[in-house]
Structure 1
Amino acid sequence: MNRMVRTGEVQDVARFEAMSREDCIDEWRRTMGGQSLKYVSVQFMRSALAYEAQIKAYGGHSNAVRRALKTALKAEQRSSEAGGRQKPALQSSLRPGTHLVREWNGRTYQIEVLDDGFQMDGKRYRSLSAIARKITGAHWSGPRFFGLG
């Protein structure tokens, strides 16, 4: 759908960036319902609220995309139920140049995927697990820490 963006719609989405945590919580409850947002970051709420505003303005995913997502979800569920999770190797599934973002204890970390590893704050790492350990000080599965596995 090719549609001209009205100035008001852009302002509606942009207004979320200036919202305080309390304003985000109020808007979240008005828009999406629910009670407790104790562990949800402000940036996540802002992004989700902006996404919901975009859906209202432009509509959601096409029927074809919804079907493809449902098919992929069912295939993943069947694979998990069968006990075998057949996923591609992480390094080959992430393209160089991809950026991973993770908020931890109030700080946002951005990781860039390289041909032969990862980079954070100008330093190269061989694995996401090494980066997760650097960020948290504890042993983590790097893909799990970054929401990839």
Structure 2
Amino acid sequence: MNYWLTNVLLDTNFIKEKDWVKGTQTELSAIHIIDGKIVDIIPQQELPLIIENNIIVANHQLLLPGLVGKHYHLGKSKLGTPWTPVTQAKNLVERFETEIPILDSLNKTISERANILYQLEVTNGVTSFRSHIDIEPATELRYFDAIVDLRKQVNIPY
């Protein structure tokens, strides 16, 4: 896909007061995107007038980088189920011994709960996130396999 994102504001510089950043300067820009990659950024006034197709007008909205989620437990999400507090545990083994039966008894599957978390993050601007899955004797690869299957279903890149 080949298109231009036009009339978009980009931060171009910091506004400083002494050693303190108190704002940013912006510039109205046009961004050329081909196959999902930015190939050119130009000042809006330099956009050729002959371009008529494949234009998305941003209406002076500020373009910011996507948010990055640094630490998720997709296999332990309880989203979509009634809230319950975390129970205390004296050590990691006790945590697993109490947590796994609770997670397995919820009214939504691991994949359903993980998908709710994934969709919530994506709709709120997260474009990249890192997750890990606990693999231990009580669950074997169940949680891991559920998240791998979810990744395939919603086409989450590695």
Report the TM-score range of the alignment, normalised by the length of the smaller protein: under 0.3
Richer in helix (by share) = 1
Structure number with larger C-alpha Rg: 2
When normalised by structure 1's length, the TM-score is 0.20
Higher RCO structure, 1 or 2 (CA under 8 Å, sep 6+): 2
Richer in strand (by share) = 2
